Amino acid sequence: MSITIDVPKNIENVLDIRCREEHIDRMSVLKQMLWDGVESYLVNQYSSGKISKGKLAELLNSDIYEVNEVLDRYHVRSSISYEKFTRGIQIAEKTGEYYGVEEDH
């Protein structure tokens, strides 16, 4: 996709600084900044409960482990409630599927 936009002078100055610091071209810097904005937006959507972690992974084209790393970078905790988490652990323990380890009898 190709989009033409007018970039404000202050953002252009930031682009030039980043280009020099990272020794990369303007287009690469713009793409990275756009991606950072997309990532930030999607993390905010997740943290406000508007999308699931699975949808976040899909939209970021990542697996769940990579999404967890992204959420860590943004200091966002899982949206699952403590009650749901503990109930899930209890169910897993009862069915013997807790970490794939069977109890000794």
Indicate the domain borders of the chain.
9-78
Q: Are 14 and 26 in contact (CB under 8 A)?
A: no
**Selected residue with higher pLDDT from 58 and 105:** 58
**Selected residue with higher pLDDT from 1 and 39:** 39
Task: Render 41-94 in DSSP notation, one character per residue.
Answer: HHHHHHHTTSS-HHHHHHHHT--HHHHHHHHHHTT---SS-HHHHHHHHHHHHH
Q: Are 60 and 67 in contact (CB under 8 A)?
A: yes
pLDDT in tens, 5-54: 899 999 999 999 999 999 999 999 999 999 999 999 999 999 998 999 99
Longest CA span, the chain: 71
pLDDT in tens, 40-96: 999 999 999 899 999 999 999 999 899 999 999 999 986 566 676 677 667 777 776
